[in-house]
Structure 1
Amino acid sequence: MKLTGTPFYILTIVLFLASIVLAVVQWARRGGGGGQGSRRGNRGRAPQAKRGPLQFVGYLATILFCQSTAVLMVFVMVNNSNLIYDSWGDLLGTSSHVRAVPVPPKDNGIAADAGADKNRQKVIQSFHGVDDNAVPKDVKETDLKGQLSGVDGEVLVWTPPEYDDPAYKDKAFPVVELLAGFPGSSSTWFGTMDVSKQLAPLMKSGQVAPFILVSPRVTLLGKNTDTGCADVPGKVNAETWLSRDVPQMVLDNFRVDASPDRWALAGYSAGAHCATRLALAHPNRYRAAISMSGYNDPKEESDSLTAKDPHLREVSNPLYLLTHAATPPNVALYETGNKGDGLEDALALQKAAKSPTSVTPFETHGPHLSATWKPLVVPTFKWLTGIIPPQH
C-alpha cells in the first residue's frame, strides 16, 4: 500500500480507533467501573484474582498500541499534507535510484544537446497520471532512465493552458525545473505548494509567462543521504541527472526553446541551494533561479554528501562558484530567506555579484516550512516573467 494517499491514511485511522476500542474493552473486563457503587455490587462475590505479570504486560501493550497508532496517524496526516516522503523506500532509506555512476561526457550546454548529435537516439517517453490524490490530474509523470547520469527516477511535468491551444501550436515554451527539499517528493511542488493551481490563472491573464513546469526526483540515494545535487565519483551523478538528463528528456518530448535564456530553476530549502548552485554552475543551461530559504554552505544540510568532503563542500558553495567564475555568469537570482535562515546567504551573494549577474534578496518572516514558501510562488514567478518573457 502506498505511503501517501487516502487508503493508507484511512487504515491508520481505523487502527487508532481499534486501539481505543481494545483499551476500553480491556478496562471493562477488569471491572474498571470502580467507585462505591461497584464495591456495593460486589458484596457477596468472591474476590477477584490479583492481576498477574501477564495482565500487566497486556495493559502496557495496549497503551503502547494506542500511542503508536496515534503517532502513525498524525505522521501520515503531516506527510500527506507536506509530501515529505512519497514511498516506503524513501521513508526507510532503503531505496536507491542509482543504476550506475559513469563519467559524464563534456557539457557543451543545452543548445548543443538539442542539435549537436544528429545520430543520437531521442529520449521519447510515455506519460501517465500521478498516483497521488494531492497532485492535480493535469500533471503527467514519466519514469526516466538517465542516459548520462545512470540515475533512474520519476519526472513530473505540467504544461500551461496555452500549450494545447491551436494558436500556440508553433510556439516554443520556457521551462522551469522545480526542486524539492530534502527529504522531499517530486509531488510536493504540485501538491503542497499548489504551483500549477496558483499560476494557471495568471498565465491565462498574461501576468505570468506560460512556463512548462518540471519536477524531477531529487532523493536518489538510500540511507537518508542527500546528494547535494552534485556529481560524486563512484556514488551518484545527481548534477548530471538534474541539469542534463532531465532537460534532454524535456527537449525531446515537448515544444521547448533550447536557448538557456528560456530555462530556469526554483527550489525550497535544500532544493533552493541546488537551484542557485546549478544556475551558477551552468549559465549555458539556465538564465535564472528562485531560492526559497536556501543556503550557500552545504554543511547546512548535515546529511549531504557534499558537506562531508572538504573539496566538494568548497566547490559546491554558490558563493564560491560566483566568486571563482572565469567571467560573471549571465544569471539572475531571486533569493528569499528569514534572518538566520537564508537571508544572510542571499545578501552575501548580492554583495559578491558583478554584472551581468544579478541577485534580488527578499526577507521572509515565517518558519522553515511550506507555509512560508507557498505564498512566494506568485511573486517569484512574476519576477521570473520579467527575466524570461512569455515569448522569445
Structure 2
Amino acid sequence: MQLTGKPFLILTILLVPVSIAVAMLLWGRVRGSRAVQALARLIMLLFCQATAVTLVFVLVNNANLLYGSWDDLLGSDSHVRSVAVPPADAVGGGADAKAQAKVLQQFKAIDDPAVPSDVQTTDLKGRLSGVDGEVNVWLPPQYNDPAYKDKKFPVVELLPGFPGSSKTWFGTLKVSEQLKPLMQSGQVAPFILVSPRTQLLGTGTDSGCADVPGKINADTWLSRDVPQMILDNFRADPSASRWAVAGYSAGAHCASRLALEHPDRYRAGISMSGYNDPAAEPDSLTAKDPHLREIANPLYVLTHAATPPNVALYEAGDAGDGYEAGQALAKAAKAPTTVTVVETTGPHTPALWKPMVPQVFKWLTGIIPAQP
C-alpha cells in the first residue's frame, strides 16, 4: 500500500472513527484489577490519538509530498550503490565527453493520483556517481508537435527541499499544470522539466547535493548522470546556455551552488527561500565538516571562481529566509554573473513557492528564450 496513495488515505480516515467506536464500546466492559482496567483504557486512548495523528500526518504529507514512499519515511532506502571517484568532468552543458554509448531508459507514467498523468518516470543507475534513483520528466506541449520534430529543447532540473519527494514539484507546486498554458501562449519557453531524486541517504541525512568522498556523489548524480540521461533519451539541447536548475528550501541552496560551480553545464540557477551556509540545514552532510561547509557555500563558490561564471541567478526570499543570502550573492557578483534578488512575504511552505512558479519561469525565459 503506497504511502501517498488513496487506499492508505482512506484507511487512515476510517481508522479514526473506528478507534473511537471501539473505545466507547469496550470502555465499560474491561474486566480485571483496577491496574489492568487503567492500562487497557490507556491503550484505547493512545490508539485513538495514534489514528488521529496518523491521519494528520498523511494529509500534510500528501499535500506537501515530503516523503514519497515508506522507505523515504523510515529512512531505510539508501540509493548509493558505490562511491568511486568520478572521472574528470567534461565541458559542455550536461553532455559528458567520457560517457559511454547512449543508454535508452524505459519510462512510465507516475502511479500517484497527486501527479499529472503526463509526467513520466524512470529508474536511473548513475554510471559516474554510483547513485540509483527515480527521475521524473515532463515534456512541453510543443515537444510532440510535428512542427517541432527537428527542434531541441531547453531543460530545467527541479530540486525539492529536504525532506522532499522527487514528485513534489509536479504534485504540490503544480509546475507543469501552471506552465503548460504559458508555454502554449508563448509567455514561457518550452522547457523540458526534470525532477530527480535528491533524498539519497537512508539515514535521513541531506546529501547537500555534494560529492562527499567515501559517502556519496550527489553532485555528479545531479550535474552529470541525470543530464546525460536526458540527452540520451530526449531532444534536449546539449549546450550550457540552454540548461537551468531550480529549487526551493534545501533544493534552492543546491540550485545556486550547482549553477555557480558548473557554468559549463548551467546558464541559470533559481533559488526560492534558499540559504548559503549549509549549516542552515542541520541534517546536511556538508554542514558536519568545517571544510565541506566552507566550500559548499554558494557565496564561497562565487568569490573563489577563477573567473566570474556566466550564470544568471534568481534569488527569492523573505527577511531571514533567503533574502539576505541573495543580497550577499548580488553584492559579490561581477560581470558576467548576474543576480536578481526578489523579496517575498510568507511562510516557508509550498503555499509561498507555488504561486511564484509563473513569474520565475517568465524571468528564466528572458535568460533562456524559446529559440537560441
Per the normalisation by structure 1, the TM-score is: 0.93
Contact 2:154-2:191 within 8 A present in 1 as well: yes
Instruction: Give the unaligned 5+ runs of structure 1.
Output: 31-48
Instruction: Within 5 Å, give how 1:232-271 maps onto structure 2.
Output: 232-271=212-251
Instruction: Give the unaligned 5+ runs of structure 2.
Output: none
Instruction: Within 5 Å, give how 1:314-325 maps onto structure 2.
Output: 314-325=294-305
Q: Give 1:19's aligned residue.
A: 19
Using the aligned pairs only, state the percent identity. 68
Distance 1:275 1:124 in 2: 27
Q: Give 2:5's aligned residue.
A: 5
Q: Give 1:89's aligned residue.
A: 71
Q: Which has the larger radius of gyration?
A: 1
Q: Give 1:109's aligned residue.
A: 91
User: Secondary structure of the equivalent of 1:156?
Assistant: strand
Q: Give 2:311's aligned residue.
A: 331
Question: Of 284, 306, 315, which residue of structure 2 is paired with 1:304?
Answer: 284
Distance 2:289 2:27 in 1: 56
Distance 1:96 1:108 in 2: 28
Contact 2:138-2:176 within 8 A present in 1 as well: yes
Question: Of 132, 135, 144, which residue of structure 1 is paired with 2:124?
Answer: 144
- Shift, 1:27, TM fit: 3.7
Q: Give 2:155's aligned residue.
A: 175
Distance 2:171 2:77 in 1: 22
- CA distance 1:177–1:222, shift in 2 (3 Å): same
- Shift, 1:326, TM fit: 0.6
Misfit runs of 4+, over 6 Å:
none
Contact 1:123-1:248 within 8 A present in 2 as well: no
Amino acid at match of 1:193: L
Question: Of 307, 315, 321, which residue of structure 2 is paired with 1:341?
Answer: 321
Question: Of 346, 355, 367, which residue of structure 2 is paired with 1:375?
Answer: 355
Q: Give 1:196's aligned residue.
A: 176
Distance 1:240 1:140 in 2: 22
1:162 aligns with 2:142: yes
Q: Give 1:366's aligned residue.
A: 346
User: Secondary structure of the equivalent of 1:143?
Assistant: strand
User: Secondary structure of the equivalent of 1:251?
Assistant: helix
- Shift, 1:26, TM fit: 2.2
Distance 1:314 1:259 in 2: 30
Instruction: Within 5 Å, give how 1:8-47 maps onto structure 2.
Output: 8-27=8-27, 29=29
User: Secondary structure of the equivalent of 1:266?
Assistant: strand
Amino acid at match of 1:59: R
- Shift, 1:120, TM fit: 2.3
Contact 2:94-2:224 within 8 A present in 1 as well: no
Distance 1:352 1:135 in 2: 39
Question: Of 56, 61, 77, which residue of structure 2 is paired with 1:74?
Answer: 56
Distance 2:370 2:275 in 1: 30
Distance 1:273 1:6 in 2: 33
- Shift, 1:109, TM fit: 2.3
Give the count of matched residue pairs. 372
Distance 2:268 2:256 in 1: 8
Contact 1:151-1:237 within 8 A present in 2 as well: yes
User: Secondary structure of the equivalent of 1:267?
Assistant: strand
Contact 1:142-1:155 within 8 A present in 2 as well: yes
Distance 1:159 1:340 in 2: 36
User: Secondary structure of the equivalent of 2:170?
Assistant: coil
Distance 2:61 2:330 in 1: 35
Deviates more, 1:330-339 or 1:12-21: 12-21
Distance 2:160 2:264 in 1: 23
Contact 1:153-1:217 within 8 A present in 2 as well: yes
- Shift, 1:112, TM fit: 7.8
Per the normalisation by structure 2, the TM-score is: 0.98
- Shift, 1:219, TM fit: 0.3
1:62 aligns with 2:60: no
Q: Give 1:206's aligned residue.
A: 186
Distance 1:87 1:222 in 2: 12
1:291 aligns with 2:258: no
Distance 2:230 2:32 in 1: 71
- Shift, 1:391, TM fit: 1.1
Amino acid at match of 1:13: I
